Amino acid sequence: MKRLSGFVLFSAICLILPLLFPDNYYVTVVGLTIFINIILAVSLNLLMGYAGQISLGHAAFFGLGAYSSAILTIKYGLNPWIAMLTGAAFVAGLSYVLSRPILKLKGHYLAMATLGLGIIVHIFFVQADELTGGPDGISGLPSLSIMGMAIDSDLKWYWVLCSCMLLSVLFSLNIADSRAGRALSAVHGSEIAAQMMGIDTAMVKSHIFVFSALMASFAGSLFAHQQDFVSPESFSFFFSIELVTMVVLGGLGSTFGAVIGAFILSILPEVLIVFEDFEVLIFGAILMVIMIFLPEGLFVALKNKVAAFVAKRQEEGVDGPS
Amino acid sequence: MRFCKNLFAILAILSLIGLFGNHQAMAKDTLKIGSFLAVTGPASFLGDPELKTLQMYIEEINANGGVDGHKIEFVHYDTKGKAKEAKNFVNRLIKKDKVDVIIGGTTSGNSLAVIDIVQKAEVPFISLAGSIKIVEPVKKWVFKTPHTDKMAAEKIFTDMKKRGIKKVALITGNGGFDKSGRAQCLALAPEYGIEIVADEKYDNADTDMTTQLTKIRATDAQAIVNFGFGKAPAIVAKNIKQLGIKLPVYESHGVASKKFIELAGDAANGIRLPAAALIVADQLPADDPQKKVLLSYKKKFEEKYGPVSTFGGHAYDALFITVDAVKRAGTIDRAKIRDEIEKTKGFVGTGGIFNMSPTDHLGLSLDAFKMIEIENGNWKLLY
């Protein structure tokens, strides 16, 4: 159980906060955005952190999920849950077809291909206005309901998104410690070495790409229902970059790193807004300082420091007169 | 070093307390007006004068003792024209700042994106954007002050009917404003007995529209209508002159700024457009009820910031409709303010004379628009 102690602590914090502050703006309003961003960052970390495959187009899958839910529920009157699953199935299919050719590329070329994917999907959202509502987007989604209970308040959304987020974190933690996770780190380390060990690297990479896209698609559907509105700018290239920043800021390859990164990048703009015109400057400066002094990522760096500190104490304890 | 670490820890704890602490230590009687405008970004030429107008007049109202003794507290966020930001900020205005009235939503996209939130939270919202979809169908808590794209199309077609024009060529851009204007033109043309013989489109970033205009020249159109804003309409005007097309040209209220005349130069002369009376305030007859309001707004704004635009005027109208409603309500209760806004009658604003009702949350009639012709690089009021 020690392996999951971090997760238990994290869940406890998430579950206690709304009980203490049910009406706090930062908990039940900003919190919802943070949860969506955490799911996305964690899913991107599977691909970038574990498998070492960069993606600058993650917002595309997020957007496809959101638009599938919006279009299928409003234009075709589908049940929101069925729409969500249909969207996810579509995204899974698309990402599987794309994964083989795209993941053959490496480094800058992979970055370019995923960037292209993100931009193409964004252009589609803007231009196909018969289907997507163009730049104005779509609003008026039916509310999601669980066993007849409509999720219509911020607090109810908190519980739904919180549990989805915790599930995705748990999933990601478990992958890391599984056979598949070890295969992924082998691919990350050296693809040729991984092949020598008998790992089907193409398959491993494409599986994690599909998983990652699937999680983004579910997050997109939830986002669409929670916001009750989708428009292309939520899924632009810049959002993909923001997601990459979250993962890198927290610490590449660490699930809780992604969680911390998503948390910081979502809450900072809300806190810094009091500085008005200087908001963006300060935001940039904070990111720069973190990356210069803690290049391995905030969470990973702090974890290492704490581990080193504990180790030192134990050493002293053994050597010192007691 | 130890000291630094301790200091850092204390700061971190303090900021957390700030985060979760209660922010409602305000005096009870302030009227909180929240606003979200596109002050930067592509729509900044709309949002910037809107913000300046609001700030200038709120300062003046507070200096004069507030509205019925209620000082106005103004909270503003810049959306950069992004619908996603607009949504976040309106959530913040309602749930964190707990404002009594919201004025803002510079672009139609921004306004439409937040309608569900204000409806749900039951906060009066006066939009400063053009699209008719904002108030049609009527939403209980949503009002707006700018003229709609539908009114612009109607005004243009009325003028055409007077001149006996029956066949029209349409040329529009790919922005939200353009698309909405195009849809209104197509829908209204049959009512005025007008046939749309060409329906050409361009990208707002294009630098040459001669291809589309050559196609229009080949039709039997008697006039050209261009719906758009920014630099594209100026290019259309220039290209029309270069191609030697002699047809009457109509623009929308989207070009009602001096910038358009500057960009189009000579080619702007002879173009007609519907626009709010503000840009021709000096030419209004002395007995026009709007003249006094317009000249006073124009003078104040120009003394402080420079050339006036109709867009800042929309913010003026929204602010004073709110102020009047609060005065009549005698309280800052949201529901009562809403009821009074809906009862606005005979309010003389920069956009026209507002008469709102439960079925009309804009309250402007077609004569709020003036038909204007550009003559020698200046606006000329026709009627």
- Contact call for A25 and B179, based on CB within 8 A: no
**What SS3 state is found at A311?**
helix
- Pairs of CB atoms within 8 A across A/B: 52
- Residue range B31-148+291-364, CATH number: 3.40.50.2300
**Chain segment B288-305, per-residue pLDDT in tens:** 888 888 888 888 888 888
At B2, the pLDDT band (50, 70, 90 cuts) reads low
What does the pLDDT look like over B303-362, one tens digit per residue? 888 888 888 889 999 998 998 888 888 888 888 888 888 888 888 888 888 888 888 888
Q: Has residue A172 been placed in a domain?
A: yes
Give a yes or no: residue A19 inside a domain. Answer: no
**Closest Cα in chain A, distance from residue B163 (Å):** 35
pLDDT for position A70: 94
Lowest mean pLDDT segment, chosen from A78-87, B7-16, B176-185: B7-16
B234, B260 Cβ separation under 8 angstroms = yes
Of B309, B345, B255, B347, residue with least CA distance to B128: B309
Is there a contact between A139 and B96 if contact means CB atoms under 8 Å apart?
Answer: no
Q: Do A29 and B175 touch (CB under 8 A)?
A: no
pLDDT of residue A170: 94
Interface test with A, best of B88, B97, B172, B203 (most A CBs within 10 A): B88
From chain B, the residues in CB contact with A36 under 8 A are none
Band of residue B27 on the pLDDT scale cut at 50, 70, 90: very low
Domain span including residue A185: 27-236
Question: Cα-flanking dihedrals φ and ψ of residue A145, to 5°?
Answer: -135, 145
| CB atoms B176 and A136 under 8 Å | yes
Task: Give mean pLDDT, residues A139-157.
Answer: 85
What is the mean predicted confidence (pLDDT) over B355-376?
86
Would you say the ipTM is above 0.95?
no
Arithmetic mean of pLDDT, A26-34: 89
What pLDDT, on the 0 to 100 scale, is given for residue B18? 52
Q: Is residue A309 part of a domain?
A: no
Does some domain include residue A161?
yes
Q: In the prediction, which pLDDT does B244 show?
A: 86
Which of B20, B113, B116 has the CB atom closest to A231's CB atom?
Answer: B113
**Which residue among A33, A227, A271 places its CB closest to the CB of B19?**
A271
pLDDT of A73 reads: 94
* Angle subtended by helix axes B291-304 and B44-63, to nearest 10: 100
Contact flag B95-A25 (C-beta cutoff 8 Å): yes
In-domain check, residue A270: no
Q: Which pTM was predicted?
A: 0.81
User: Could you tell me the CA-to-CA distances from A134 to A137, B174, B177 in Å, in that order?
Assistant: 6, 10, 12
Its CATH class, for the domain covering B150-282+369-381, is: alpha beta
Q: A89-102: per-residue pLDDT in tens? A: 999 999 999 998 99
Best B19, B36, B179, B182 member to test A by mutation, with max A CBs in 10 Å, is: B19
B224 close to B252: Cβ distance less than 8 angstroms? no
Asked whether the beta carbons of residue B84 and residue A234 sit closer than 8 angstroms, the reply is yes
Interface residues on B facing A, Cβ-Cβ cutoff 8 A: 15, 19-20, 77, 82-84, 87-88, 91-92, 95-96, 108-109, 112-113, 115-116, 175-176, 179
What are the residue ranges of CATH 3.40.50.2300 in chain B? 31-148+291-364, 150-282+369-381
Choose the closest CB to B83 out of A154, A233, A270: A233
Secondary structure of residue A45 in the 3-state scheme: helix
Number of domains in chain A: 1
User: Do B115 and A139 count as a contact with CB atoms less than 8 A apart?
Assistant: yes
